[in-house]
């Protein structure tokens, strides 16, 4: 053979992989269509294969190019990596690895670092080389200078297969971009698009960490969708799942016949609730694999942020385990020290490599310092989902208005810890599945009260400290629960109530983005001042949001079925306060009982801790926002 058998790879190329320091493993592992020097022909084209299987007795690559009979790979000296260059292979050819484990059994496996895969239920890996030319230079330049905590962020969470069933990445690049632009969201969050075998897992059980699912097209088609979103000024967040992976025999599990990516001990290596394996975060090669995967999506697909799924399951060794079914750490505690070190590593690395990127933790416990910098002892995330706010506010929402006064603290308690982390307020897919009911059906009583309550709730949410996230379909109050096998019920957005709520979401997003008082100081106590936190008898809450330039937005929400007329509030400045939102407007399918005639006057009369006082009318189950700009 006249050319290099390993396509230019040597054992030295994998030193970083074995030390946990290689953060770009996709450039060496997987299948790469390359040109290599050849003594006879000068150069030849082909595909270089490389796969980590240190305990294997033998490894073959199989595909249509060898009638699925197998070409032998060899161990690259000193690496535990098997490789081979095969000349003449075309791009987009299918392949798998056949691996003989230490037990002598041959197992057929897909490539852990494949860039593309067959569409489920088929699973062969596909040789793929991107030729996409990006057109989002302006967006990427702005991202590198971004200050996410001081900028608006309203996120639309989406399951690509269920938004409009049957749409491809290319079709979504037109339809989704147009819709998000009209609605005014700043970001879209994609539920995992990494290749996965089981559609009802929604992508949370990943079999191809480096391969976008082929259900909607090719990898460059996804790049086109992201590019179009960026050109429209919309950021893209991707759900990332480093906490566990499925047990499918052809995927990562027991990859070379041994527990390679996962812990061998089921007390550390399996989630019995989910039927999945847990990554071995203490293994350097696993660290390299996962941190490279995170960087891969950000660099190769221009993803703007990663929402890390199920962080709590990573942090605690006893997560969802009975006594005696878990192994304490070296100090006898329940914290998973290796996972904590890994999360700190990936967060620190990504923020250093890609300024402006978003790292978001879906973490449901009170673990301290989730969004505290690593150098200060934190986990280093940029944001954390505020699951406490979500649980409390949804409990309140489901109460009949006459009983809400007895649980008023459900809406006020979140301010006790509002500035302890950098929060995102999530109303996600998890809240509208598995018998929990849609948002509309959580609310008691008739349709008028249901829609009015939702309008008040979302305005309360959009004015509360923290960024916002809402799941698709919630913006027009779809009645059924989320079902990935069908499209959203778009037709209802033409109906009374549904269309009004959808129009409100559009206005909420645009008003929010136009007023820095609603977002600039989200993580600073100076950005929020209670007007009245204690009016449980009226089911009312009121506060002022402030920005650094001295502008104010006063937000008053009435969660009772009775109007608040001539309701006395304190305000930080005298003069005219313009009404910029009233959720009872006829435009939103409300009753149109405004009462404030577009503005209220604040008099120089002390009220509580404020220097001015005004009287405002707030319709039943409604919110009113008032604006007072700083004087020039």
Structure tokens at 100: 């003989």
Q: Which of 548, 550, 438, 413 is nearest to 501 (CA)?
A: 438
Give the chain's largest Cα–Cα span. Answer: 94
Structure tokens at 117: 């895969």
Q: Which of 357, 408, 416, 369 is nearest to 388 (CA)?
A: 416
Q: Which residues are catalytic?
A: 309, 362
Q: How far apart are CA 373 and CA 351, in angstroms?
A: 10
Q: How far apart are CA 534 and CA 516, in angstroms?
A: 26
Q: Is the CB of residue 530 less than 8 Å from the CB of residue 543?
A: yes
Q: Helices (H), strands (E): how many in the chain?
A: 14, 29
What DSSP assignment string belongs to 483-506? -TTS---GGGGGSTTHHHHHHHHH
Q: How far apart are CA 559 and CA 504, in angstroms?
A: 17
Question: Alpha helix (H) ranges present in 158-212?
Answer: 160-163, 169-183
* Helical packing angle, 284-300 and 337-353, nearest 10°: 30
Residue 547 is given by DSSP the state: -
Torsions phi, psi for 347 (to 5 deg): -65, -45
Structure tokens at 409: 């603290």
Q: How far apart are CA 233 and CA 153, in angstroms?
A: 12
Query: Which residues neighbour 339 within 8 Å (Cβ) at sequence distance 6 or greater?
Result: 281, 314, 315
- 3-class state of residue 594 by DSSP: coil
Which residue's structure tokens are 């904590």?
340
- 3-class state of residue 395 by DSSP: helix
- 3-class state of residue 135 by DSSP: coil
Q: How many residues belong to the chain?
A: 632
């Amino acid at each position: 053979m006249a050319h290099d058998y390993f396509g230019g790879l040597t054992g030295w190329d994998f030193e970083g992989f074995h030390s946990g320091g290689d953060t770009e493993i996709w450039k060496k592992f997987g299948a790469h269509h390359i040109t290599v020097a050849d003594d006879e022909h000068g150069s030849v084209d082909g595909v270089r294969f490389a796969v980590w299987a240190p305990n294997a007795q033998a490894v073959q690559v199989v595909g249509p190019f060898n009638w699925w009979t197998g070409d032998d790979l060899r161990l690259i000296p000193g690496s535990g990596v098997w490789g081979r260059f095969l000349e003449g292979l075309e791009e987009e050819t299918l392949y798998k690895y056949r691996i003989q484990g230490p037990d002598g059994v041959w197992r057929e496996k897909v490539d852990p670092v494949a860039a593309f895969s067959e569409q489920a239920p088929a699973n062969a890996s596909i040789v793929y080389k991107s030729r996409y030319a990006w057109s989002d230079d302006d967006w990427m330049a702005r991202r590198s200078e971004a200050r996410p905590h001081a900028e608006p962020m309203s996120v639309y969470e989406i399951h690509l297969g269920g938004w409009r069933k049957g749409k491809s990445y290319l079709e979504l690049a037109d339809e989704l971009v147009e819709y998000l632009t009209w609605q005014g969201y700043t970001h879209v969050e994609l539920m995992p698009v990494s290749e996965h075998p089981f559609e009802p897992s929604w992508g949370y059980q990943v079999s191809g960490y480096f391969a976008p699912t082929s259900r909607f097209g090719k990898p460059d088609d996804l790049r086109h969708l992201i590019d179009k979103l960026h050109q429209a000024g919309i950021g893209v967040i991707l759900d990332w799942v480093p906490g566990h992976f499925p047990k499918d025999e052809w995927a990562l599990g027991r990859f070379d016949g041994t527990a390679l990516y996962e812990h061998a001990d089921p007390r550390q290596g399996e989630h019995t609730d989910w039927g999945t394996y847990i990554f071995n975060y203490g293994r350097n090669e696993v660290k390299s694999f996962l941190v490279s995967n995170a960087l891969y999506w950000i660099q190769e697909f221009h993803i703007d942020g990663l929402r890390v799924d199920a962080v709590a399951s990573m942090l605690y060794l006893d997560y969802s385990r009975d006594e005696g079914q878990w192994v304490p750490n070296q100090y006898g505690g329940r914290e998973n020290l290796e996972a904590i070190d890994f999360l700190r590593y990936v967060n620190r690395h990504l923020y250093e490599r890609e300024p402006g990127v978003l790292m978001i933790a879906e973490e449901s416990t009170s673990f301290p310092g989730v969004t505290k910098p690593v150098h200060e002892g934190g986990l280093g995330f940029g944001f954390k989902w505020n699951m406490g706010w979500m649980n409390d506010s949804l409990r309140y929402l489901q109460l009949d208005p006459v009983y809400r006064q007895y649980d008023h603290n459900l809406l006020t308690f979140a301010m006790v810890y509002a500035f302890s982390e950098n929060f995102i307020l999530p109303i996600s897919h998890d809240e509208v599945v598995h018998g929990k009911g849609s948002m509309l059906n959580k609310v008691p009583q008739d349709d008028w009260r249901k829609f009015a309550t939702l309008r008040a709730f979302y305005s309360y949410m959009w004015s509360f400290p923290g960024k916002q996230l809402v799941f698709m379909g919630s913006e027009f109050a779809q009645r059924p629960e989320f079902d990935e096998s069908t499209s959203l019920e778009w037709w209802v957005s033409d109906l009374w109530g549904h269309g009004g709520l959808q129009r409100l979401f559009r206005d909420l997003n645009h008003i929010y983005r136009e007023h820095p008082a609603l977002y600039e100081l989200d993580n600073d106590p100076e950005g929020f001042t209670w007007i009245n936190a204690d009016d449980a008898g009226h089911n009312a809450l009121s506060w002022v949001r402030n920005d650094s330039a001295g502008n104010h937005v006063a937000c008053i929400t009435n969660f009772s079925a009775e109007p608040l007329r001539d309701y006395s509030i304190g305000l930080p400045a005298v003069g005219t306060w313009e009404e910029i939102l009233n959720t009872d407007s006829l435009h939103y399918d409300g009753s149109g009982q405004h009462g404030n005639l577009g503005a209220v006057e604040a008099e120089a009369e002390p009220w509580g801790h404020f220097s001015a006082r005004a009287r405002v009318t707030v319709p039943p189950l409604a919110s009113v926002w008032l604006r007072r700009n700083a004087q020039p």
